[in-house]
Amino acid sequence: MPSLLYNRKASAALASLGAGGRLPHAILLEGPAGSGKHVAAAIIAQYALCTASEKPCGHCAGCMKVEKRIHPDVRYYGVPEGKKEFPIDLVREIRQDAYIAPNEGVCKLYILEQAHAMNAAAQNALLKSIEEPPAHARFVLLCENRSMLLPTILSRVTAIELEVPSVEQCAQALGTLASEASEEERQAAAAGAGGNIGRALALLGSAKPSKAAADARHLREMLVFGDRYQALKLLAAYDKDRQGLLDLLPLLQEGFAQAALARYRPSGGQEERMTNRLTCEQAICAAEAAAQAAEQARRNVSIPLLCACMVERIKAAVGG
Ligand SMILES: [Zn+2]
C-alpha cells in the first residue's frame, strides 16, 4: 500500500480528508518534484474507491486496482509527450467524461498531473467542472506551485502541501521500498537524489538491470529482427500490469532513440547490429510509437489494444 512515510503533515491532512466519509470534490496536491504528489493521489483514490469499512484497506479489489493503475474509474491526465502545456482539449474531454457514471466504483477520479501547465483558458474550462461537478466526479490536481493557478480555481480546492523529504527520511523510506539494497547503497542513493524518493529508487534501479530493462531490450530485438507475434507474446505478460508497462515503455522508447543517435556517432559494440539495420528515421518513428503507447498507458487505454497498435506501428516503421 502506498504511504507518505516521511511526510507526517501531509499524511494527517490526507487522513482527515477521508474522515468525514466524503472526499472534497477537488483537491490540490502542491509540492516540488519528488515530494510524493503521485503517491498522495493514489492514497486519495484508494480512500474514494476502497470497498472495506476501514478506508483505505490497501488489499481490497478497489485498492489493488488503484495501486496497479488499472482501476477503470481513475483517469490520469497530463501534459502530452513533447508538449509544454496541458491542452484545453484534454480538459474538455475530462468535462464530457465526468458526466458518464462510474464503471465499478462509487465515484470517478480525475488525476490531473502538472495542473500548473494549464493556461488560463484551460483553467477556466476546468473551473466549470469544479464549480458544478457531477455528483460522482472527484478532481485531484497536482502542481508544483499554486501561484500558477487562477485564484478562482484555488478558492474551490482543498489544498494539501507536500515537502521533499530530508536525505535521512529518504534513506529511511528506501529501507521499506528498496529493502533488497544494502544500507550503504540506500544512503548513497538518498544523498545522490537529494532526498527525492522517486529519483533515489531510480538510482538504485540503475545499479542493477531491472526486469523492465531486460524486457525492453528483448522487445526491441523482436520488433526489429523477429516477428510481431513474439513481441505481442512478451507484451501479453503486461496485460494486468499497467505499472510494469509504464516502466517498460519509456525504456523501449529510449532504446530506439539511442539507435537513432548512434547513426550519427557509431559506438560499435553489441548495438551495432541494431544501428546497421535501422535508418535514423525508422528508429525515430519506433521511438515515437513507444512514446505514444506510454502516453496511452498513463491514460488508462486498454493494454492489449495499445500494445497491438504500438507493435503494428513499429513493424510498419522498421519494414517488417
Ligand atoms: Zn480497500
- Cell 498513463: give the residue: 298
- Going from the Cα of 61 to the center of ligand 1, the distance in angstroms, rounded, reads 7
- Going from the Cα of 6 to the center of ligand 1, the distance in angstroms, rounded, reads 22
Contact 246, 296 (CB under 8 A): no
pLDDT-derived band at 3 (thresholds 50, 70, 90) equals low
Neighbours of ion ligand 1 (CB under 5 A): 50, 52, 57, 60, 63
Q: What is 211-318's CATH topology? A: Zinc Finger, Delta Prime; domain 3 (1.20.272)
- Going from the Cα of 13 to the center of ligand 1, the distance in angstroms, rounded, reads 19
Q: Which three cell numbers stand for residue 155?
A: 478558492
Number of helices (H) and strands (E), helices first, in the chain? Answer: 15, 5
- Going from the Cα of 101 to the center of ligand 1, the distance in angstroms, rounded, reads 21
Question: With b meaning 16 or more CB within 10 Å and e meaning fewer, what string describes 218-228?
Answer: ebbebbbeeee
- Going from the Cα of 244 to the center of ligand 1, the distance in angstroms, rounded, reads 21
How far apart, in whole angstroms, are the C-alpha atoms of residue 283 and residue 131?
A: 46
CATH value of 8-161 in 3.30.700.30, 3.40.50.12160, 3.30.420.10, 3.40.50.300: 3.40.50.300
- Going from the Cα of 74 to the center of ligand 1, the distance in angstroms, rounded, reads 14
Q: Which three cell numbers stand for residue 310?
A: 504500438
Average pLDDT, the chain: 86
pLDDT-derived band at 273 (thresholds 50, 70, 90) equals confident
What is the structure's pLDDT at 18?
65
- Going from the Cα of 280 to the center of ligand 1, the distance in angstroms, rounded, reads 48
- Going from the Cα of 105 to the center of ligand 1, the distance in angstroms, rounded, reads 11
- Going from the Cα of 2 to the center of ligand 1, the distance in angstroms, rounded, reads 12
What is the structure's pLDDT at 1?
47
Query: What is the DSSP annotation of 72-139?
Result: TTEEEE-PPTT-SSB-HHHHHHHHHHTTSPPSSSSSEEEEETTGGGB-HHHHHHHHHHHHS--TTEEE
How far apart, in whole angstroms, are the C-alpha atoms of residue 242 and residue 134?
A: 28
- Going from the Cα of 49 to the center of ligand 1, the distance in angstroms, rounded, reads 7
Q: For residue range 56-93, list pLDDT tens digits in order.
A: 888 999 999 998 889 999 999 999 888 899 999 999 99
